[in-house]
Amino acid sequence: MTLLKTFSLNLLKIMKIFNTLLKKQFSEMLSVFFPVKKNTQKRSTAQLAIYTVLMVYVVAVFIGLFFIYANFLCEPFCSAGLAWLYFSIMGLTALAISLIGTVFITYIMIYKAGDNDQLLSMPLPAGYILLSRIISVYFMAFFMTAMVMLPAAVVWIISGRFTILSVLLSVVSIFIIPLLSVALSCLLAWVIALLMSKTTHKTLITVIFSMLFLGVYFIGYSKIYEAMSFIATNGESIGKQLKLFAYPFYCMGYGTAEKAQYYLIFAALCILAFSLVYLILSKTFLSLSTAKKGENKRLAVKTENLKSSGLQIALFKKEARRFFSSSAYVLNGGMGCIILLVLPVFAAIYKSKINEMTAQINITLTPILGAFVCFILSTVIISASSVSIEGKSIWIIKSLPLSAKDVLTAKLMFHIVAAGISALVSCVAFGVIFQIGAVDIALLLLLGFSYVVLTAAFGLAMNLHFPALDWKSEVVAVKQGASVMISILTSMIIAIVPVIVYTFIGNLLSYVWFLLLVTAVFAVISAALIGYIFSNGIRIFENLN
């Protein structure tokens, strides 16, 4: 009886500790919705409303896309007697989507969380801390898996071929598939952490890994329509290959549609993969998390630098060092810059196909290139998180003999320079590849630069209004902030609106004059935003704490 009581008390103690860690993790994930500072109560209501609208919109779009995708696959497979393959393909799709959504931030959440040193210094088992981090990743993977598998279940019900058990198992997959997704994400994070512990070029290694992953993704995405048609018309041969090379998802599909006992094999394999990866990570989590980072040695703005190299140059260098020292900042804030530098290579490879497509629809290539460059630039959100990235240490830069105008100018200029160089290279490269002429290249450069200035100013203005300074992980500042979401979606809309307008007035106005008109509009809006930043924005920045 005493032994049982002792065991129960220890179990309750363990559950209490772990529950506290989980609450902490989820409170950090939701902190962007509910700022803790008393003087931001009104702002938190606005943030909640904005996020609710944006998240509902984004989720609705993705669910709609996956519903169409599921509907495209269901009927051909079911008619061919391959209903199991329908569930297998949807399961693999859910795995891919959840993996893409978590792979870039798993390393940061597990090994680079800002409070790792603090938690590891406490009398807490490292395994509990690790598991609480992994569960946070699981939660994100679960959400993304649901966006795929719920439409798959609905389409299956609409088809009229369903059984209660098959619907139930397709829903259970929403809980099981994320285990495998998290296992793969954590394994990649572990490999990156091992490399990081042996090199000083940490950000570069992370970016290279991420770019390789993105390269494979983009190549696969470019073939998606061909792949869907091939899948729909060659289901039987694909089923054989899937059974051979992706046996767990064969078991998942066959178990859902045919014999439920096969689903148990799929579930067991996912649980086993998750358990093995957790065991591997738990053996090295303490040593890798406490390895010397060495990344933030030169982030402070020193007074001797201000004297020797000039105020604005020193602040600009400080922004650059802060940006390039953080893989999270580079991947989330500057991915559009990297994409713009890489895309001309793909444009050169697919030049003939692109020319053929534009000839068929009888559209001049220059405005299309301009719209494309602007759309990619809309994903550059450096300025939209440049205030938030200061975090709780914002008092350091505010305590230096610097004016708020100087600080904000440096943040604005770094975005303009980083995105502007990428725009310059891509516009010139596109112009040379497609031989559009010097005048059209100049038009692209003017349009691209005006759009860069506009998005830089808008992002900084939004970050001043919606800063996330109390983050524990940089992911919150550069990925989850309200200013980031608003900047991306608004910038995309700004890039798309001229395209819509041009479809209506393209016959009335030449593309040269239209692009000049759009450039002028962008310039006027930019001037207004910059004026706002250097008036109201300065006062807002001075009151941040």
Q: How many domains does the chain have?
A: 2
Angstrom distance (rounded) from CA 461 to CA 458: 5
Q: Both 158 and 243 in a single domain?
A: yes
- Picking from 262, 256, 266, 258, the residue whose alpha carbon sits closest to that of residue 81 is 258
pLDDT at 39 over 50: no
pLDDT at 64 over 60: yes
pLDDT at 230 over 70: no
Residue 200: predicted pLDDT: 60
What amino acid occupies position 309?
S
Asked whether residue 336 is assigned to any structural domain, the reply reads yes
Least confident of 39-53, 104-118, 204-218, 288-302: 288-302
Residue 190: predicted pLDDT: 84
Q: Both 393 and 250 in a single domain?
A: no
Query: Which run of H or of E encompasses 292?
Result: none
Least confident of 26-35, 291-300, 338-347: 291-300
pLDDT averaged over the chain?
A: 79
Output DSSP code: residue 400: S
Residue 305: predicted pLDDT: 47
Residue with more model confidence, 307 or 497: 497
3-state secondary structure of 295: coil
Give me the percent of the chain exceeding a pLDDT of 90. 24
Q: What is the mean pLDDT of residues 463-483?
A: 77
Q: Which range, 113-127, 295-309, 433-447, has the best average confidence (pLDDT)?
A: 433-447
Residue 239: predicted pLDDT: 66
Q: Both 263 and 390 in a single domain?
A: no
Residue 296: predicted pLDDT: 44
Q: Both 261 and 408 in a single domain?
A: no
Confidence of residue 479 (pLDDT cuts 50, 70, 90): confident
- Token output for 311: 């105020």
- Picking from 342, 107, 383, 92, the residue whose alpha carbon sits closest to that of residue 242 is 92
Q: Both 164 and 275 in a single domain?
A: yes
Asked whether residue 313 is assigned to any structural domain, the reply reads no
Cβ neighbour number for residue 95 with a 10 Å cutoff: 25
Asked whether residue 304 is assigned to any structural domain, the reply reads no
Give me the percent of the chain exceeding a pLDDT of 70. 74
Helix then strand then coil, in percent of the chain rounded to 5, is 85, 0, 15
- Picking from 415, 402, 398, 461, the residue whose alpha carbon sits closest to that of residue 322 is 415
Q: Both 279 and 405 in a single domain?
A: no
Confidence of residue 531 (pLDDT cuts 50, 70, 90): very high
Asked whether residue 394 is assigned to any structural domain, the reply reads yes
Asked whether residue 300 is assigned to any structural domain, the reply reads no
Residue with more model confidence, 192 or 214: 192
- Picking from 97, 92, 129, the residue whose alpha carbon sits closest to that of residue 113 is 129
- Token output for 48: 């909640």
Q: Which of 238, 269, 289 is the last residue of a domain?
A: 289
Q: What is the mean pLDDT of residues 274-288?
A: 85
Q: What is the mean pLDDT of residues 329-355?
A: 83
Residue 450: predicted pLDDT: 95
Asked whether residue 317 is assigned to any structural domain, the reply reads no
Asked whether residue 315 is assigned to any structural domain, the reply reads no
* Predicted confidence (pLDDT) per residue in 367-383, tens digit: 889 999 999 999 898 99
DSSP 10-46: HHHHHHHHHHHHHHHHHHHHHTTTS---GGGHHHHHH
Helices 438-465, 365-377: axis angle to 10 degrees equals 20
Q: What is the mean pLDDT of residues 103-112?
A: 74
Q: Which of 244, 265, 289 is the last residue of a domain?
A: 289
Q: Both 128 and 261 in a single domain?
A: yes
Q: Both 334 and 264 in a single domain?
A: no
Tell me if 160 sits within 8 A of 74, measured CB to CB: no
Residue 265: predicted pLDDT: 93
Residue 298: predicted pLDDT: 43
Q: Both 235 and 343 in a single domain?
A: no
Residue 34: predicted pLDDT: 47
Angstrom distance (rounded) from CA 194 to CA 310: 39
3-state secondary structure of 290: coil
Residue 460: predicted pLDDT: 93
Q: What is the mean pLDDT of residues 62-74?
A: 86
DSSP 320-342: HHHHHT-HHHHHHHSHHHHHHHH
- Token output for 290: 């406490």
Q: Which of 266, 289, 312 is the last residue of a domain?
A: 289
Confidence of residue 102 (pLDDT cuts 50, 70, 90): confident
Residue with more model confidence, 447 or 60: 447
Q: Both 277 and 363 in a single domain?
A: no
Output DSSP code: residue 350: T
* Predicted confidence (pLDDT) per residue in 380-412, tens digit: 989 998 888 888 778 777 777 778 888 999 999
Asked whether residue 506 is assigned to any structural domain, the reply reads yes
Domain that holds residue 280: 2-289
* Predicted confidence (pLDDT) per residue in 131-182, tens digit: 888 888 898 899 999 999 999 999 999 988 878 998 999 999 999 999 999 9
Q: Both 276 and 351 in a single domain?
A: no
Confidence of residue 22 (pLDDT cuts 50, 70, 90): low
- Answer positive or negative: Cα dihedral of 154, 158, 164, 170: negative
In 112-125, where does DSSP find H-type helix? 116-120
Residue 19: which region, alpha, beta or left (left: phi > 0; alpha: psi -120 to 50)?
A: alpha
Q: Both 472 and 524 in a single domain?
A: yes
Residue 334: predicted pLDDT: 82
